Amino acid sequence: MKQLSYTITCKEGLHARPADAFVKYAQTLPCDILLEKGGKQADAKRLLAVMGLNVMQGEEIVLYFRGVGESGAMSAMESYLKTHL
Amino acid sequence: MLRYQGSRVFGGYAIAPALVLQRAVKEASRAHIDDAEAECARFRAAREKAAKELADLRERTLKEMDDELARIFDVHHSMLFDADFEESVLDIIHAERVNAEYAVLVTGERYADEFASMDNAYMQARAADIADISNRVIRILRGETETHLLETTSPVILVAKDLTPSEIVRLDTAHVLAIVTRYGSLNSHAAILAGSKGIPMVIGVDYDDDIDGKTCIVDAYGALLIVGPDDATLGEYKEKKEKDEENTSLLLALKGKDNITKDGHRIDIFCNIGGEKDVADAIKNDAGGIGLFRSEYLYLRSADYPSEEEQFQAYKTVAQRMEGKKVVIRTLDIGADKRVDYFSLRPEHNPALGYRAVRICLDRPEILKVQLRAILRASAFGNIDVMYPMITSIWEVQQLKNIFEDVKSDLSDEHIAFSDKVAQGVMIETPAAVLISELLAQEVDFFSIGTNDLTQYLLASDRQNPMLERFFDPHHPAVLKAIRMVTENAHRYRKRVGICGELAADTLLTEYFLSLHVDELSVTPSRVLAVRDAVRKTDLSK
């Protein structure tokens, strides 16, 4: 399992459109990805669950990657987050 | 004649009969079913049809608006096909042996409630998106097609409890002159889409249902609905509407053009704003920056001192929305006619000459420090300067600068980010400041001449006393000479000088200000283009 922490900088946080784009990107990655914020977890490939975490600007999220291709998935996600969120 | 106050989504005027939208109440009723698998298949088929409708809406939004807005319907599509949403619907069908309509209704309500209860206005507004998609699926399950929201061939003001994003996209803008809703949120996709379609819209209006068919005025700038206006009001608003339309055509012609005279002199035209709510107007009118961000509203609207965080969010929002353009925040100008209970100020015989603005801050620096911390923190997110009002002496400026340095070093110690480029300026609005402007220019980075107070103090004429109207002359030679003195003194030390206050927007004086080489005029948003027009018609070489 791989683990990645990131602080959201985009001003709208993970609300509708950014969350949708994030989830769609996660869906392209082969392994399981869990998104955690403040002790609550959600499947990063499910939009309503991700939106349910109510992630705002300045908040830290932790992503857990598990399964085939987890290392590659983590580095891909890291660059996605830095560019978009 | 009745007036109703709401909140503004998008400014504009409209005069037309109200059309109150009556939606047939169609509750998705619960019905027992025998074949759960068949019911699940019905759900999936309805979902496919819904996806097609969303694709059409996306296409239409892309064509009429832009890709960013079209993505709202991508989000709807993703919600519709969300695995948790699907699991919930299928579980309910299987477990309770109920019809798909009911299962979708319950699932939709559950998610809508979850979003509505979040402590974040953005997320709360997503409840409306969930409702939009579940209503869509339920309608399709019933075998009904998406009907037009209203059948009208004459102009109307559309009045509804609430509207969904897809209803806004499908609105016929030729006939819907404005929208008024009882519920809704400024963060909703419906609001964003209405603004982008250019439809004046006011939300949160507690209208009476019997207004249907009555002549109404929507003043979306003032977030006002007027029902059954009398002739005088009608005349007043017809004129306002005409002026607004004139300004709109000016806007189209002058947007994106330089503020430059025929012979090549440039001047900045910035905006005065009184809160985050005015930023959209400033941007729409092509402001080069914010020359005066009055911060008093943060103090006036609350029952206690606004927190650093609350202020920080407000300043940051404005700085970010201006995207690197200059934002000059004026520190609190409480006192005089702006009184706040929690400041516990004593009543005064002569408040205009009284205990106000920096005079309070210098006695109670802890209040100013909170504001300066918020301003500095926000400076990491944009191009912010700070400006002090009501200055009469050099020592005041020196003390303010010391406080500013203290706050900066506190932030550094706490490892909190801020920009080191925040300039400090002063308002020139007292005769004393004019007369010592040469000294002030050596202390600060810029001046902004506040002509309203300056005129009142120079001419010893209370600007709120109607008896003094003919004595309160903003074109008085003393005022114009003061502006010249201040500008020359600022430029002697290569400092920037702007004019805020009503005189800046007075196009009779634009040529005079240009000839003095004033660097910036800061005006109310609706005047930016009129002033630009005046600048572009000026030729100083003649």
Residue B193 has pLDDT above 90, yes or no: no
Residue B148 has pLDDT above 70, yes or no: no
More confident residue, B295 or B245: B295
Taking residues B39-43, report their average pLDDT: 94
Residue B312's pLDDT band (cuts 50, 70, 90):
very high
Q: Which of B189, B216, B271, B361 is catalytic?
A: B189
Treating both helix axes as pointing N-terminal to C-terminal, what angle do B36-64 and B83-96 enclose, rounded to 10 degrees?
150
Residue B192 has pLDDT above 90, yes or no: no
Looking at the partner chain, which of A15, A48, A49 has a beta carbon nearest the beta carbon of B122? Answer: A15
Looking at the partner chain, which of B78, B119, B129 has a beta carbon nearest the beta carbon of A23? Answer: B78
Q: Which of B216, B271, B361, B500 is catalytic?
A: B500
Question: Looking at the 3D structure of chain A, how many domains does it have?
Answer: 1
Contact B494, B444 (CB under 8 A): no
Residue B337 has pLDDT above 80, yes or no: no
Positive or negative, the Cα torsion across B429, B432, B435, B440?
A: negative
Residue B335's pLDDT band (cuts 50, 70, 90):
confident
Can you give the C-alpha Rg of chain A in angstroms?
11
In chain B, the residue whose alpha carbon lies closest to the alpha carbon of A17 is B75
Among A7, A54, A56, which would you mutate to test the B interface (most chain B Cβ atoms within 10 Å of its Cβ)?
A: A54
- So what's the pLDDT on residue B342? 87
Looking at the partner chain, which of A12, A20, A46 has a beta carbon nearest the beta carbon of B74? Answer: A20
Residue B24's pLDDT band (cuts 50, 70, 90):
low
Tell me the nearest-neighbour CA distance from B323 into chain A, angstroms: 13
Residue B472's pLDDT band (cuts 50, 70, 90):
confident
- So what's the pLDDT on residue B165? 85
Tell me the nearest-neighbour CA distance from A59 into chain B, angstroms: 13
Pairing assessment for the beta strands A60-66 and A32-37 based on DSSP bridges: antiparallel
Percent of chain B with pLDDT over 70: 98
Instruction: Collect all residues from B whose CB is shorter than 8 A from any CB in A.
Output: 68, 71-72, 74-75, 78-79, 82-85, 111, 114-115, 118-120, 122-123, 126, 129, 189, 320
Residue B290 has pLDDT above 70, yes or no: yes
Positive or negative, the Cα torsion across B131, B136, B141, B147?
A: positive
Tell me the nearest-neighbour CA distance from A54 into chain B, angstroms: 7
What are B491-521's pLDDT values in tens digits? Answer: 999 999 999 988 999 999 999 999 999 999 9
Taking residues B257-264, report their average pLDDT: 95
Locate B436 and state its tokens: 């010592």
Which chain A residues are closer than 8 Å to B71 by Cβ?
17, 20
In chain A, the residue whose alpha carbon lies closest to the alpha carbon of B130 is A48
Which chain B residues are closer than 8 Å to A54 by Cβ?
118-120, 123
Is B40 marked active-site? no
Taking residues A53-70, report their average pLDDT: 91
ipTM tops 0.85: yes
Percent of chain A with pLDDT over 90: 54
Residue B250's pLDDT band (cuts 50, 70, 90):
confident
- So what's the pLDDT on residue B188? 81
- So what's the pLDDT on residue B26? 63
Q: Burial letters for B101-134: b for 16+ Cβ neighbours within 10 Å, e otherwise?
A: bbbbbbbbeebbebbbebeeebbbbbbbbbbbbb
Residue B17 has pLDDT above 90, yes or no: yes
CATH number reported for the structural domain that contains residue A28 in this entry: 3.30.1340.10
Residue B350 has pLDDT above 90, yes or no: no
- So what's the pLDDT on residue B25? 56
How far is it, in rounded angstroms, from Cα A51 to Cα B110?
14
How far is it, in rounded angstroms, from Cα B416 to Cα B422?
15
Question: C-alpha angle with apex B210: B182 to B135, nearest 5 degrees?
Answer: 45
Which chain B residues are closer than 8 Å to A48 by Cβ?
79, 82, 84-85, 111
Among A7, A8, A20, which would you mutate to test the B interface (most chain B Cβ atoms within 10 Å of its Cβ)?
A: A20
Question: A13 vs B83: CB contact, 8 Å cut-off?
Answer: no
Instruction: Collect all residues from A whose CB is shorter than 8 A from any CB in B.
Output: 11-13, 15-17, 19-20, 23-24, 43, 45-49, 51-52, 54, 56
Torsion angles phi and psi, residue B441, rounded to 5 = -60, -25
Contact B217, B18 (CB under 8 A): no
How far is it, in rounded angstroms, from Cα A72 to Cα A74?
5
Looking at the partner chain, which of B75, B84, B114 has a beta carbon nearest the beta carbon of A16? Answer: B75
Q: Of B59-68, B323-332, B501-510, give the range with the top mean pLDDT.
A: B323-332
Residue B172's pLDDT band (cuts 50, 70, 90):
confident
Start-to-end Cα distance in chain A: 23
Burial label for B396, CB within 10 Å (0-12, 13-18, 19+), is buried
Ramachandran assignment for A40, one of left (phi > 0), alpha (psi -120 to 50 degrees), beta (any other): beta
Residue whose token pair is 């809406």: B57
- Nearest to B437, CA basis, from B497, B518, B509: B497
Q: Structural domains in chain B?
A: 2-21+150-240 (3.50.30.10), 36-141 (1.10.274.10), 257-425+501-537 (3.20.20.60)
Q: How many CB pairs under 8 A join A and B?
A: 50
- So what's the pLDDT on residue B215? 94
In chain A, the residue whose alpha carbon lies closest to the alpha carbon of B381 is A11
- Nearest to B528, CA basis, from B201, B339, B271, B280: B271
Burial label for B213, CB within 10 Å (0-12, 13-18, 19+), is exposed
What are B407-429's pLDDT values in tens digits? Answer: 999 999 999 999 999 999 999 99
- Domain housing A59: 2-84
Question: B78 vs A56: CB contact, 8 Å cut-off?
Answer: no
The strands making up B2-5's β-sheet, listed across from edge to edge, are B2-5, B224-227, B215-219, B13-20, B156-160, B176-181, B201-203, B7-10
Which chain B residues are closer than 8 Å to A46 by Cβ?
82-84
Taking residues B287-301, report their average pLDDT: 93
Is B189 marked active-site? yes
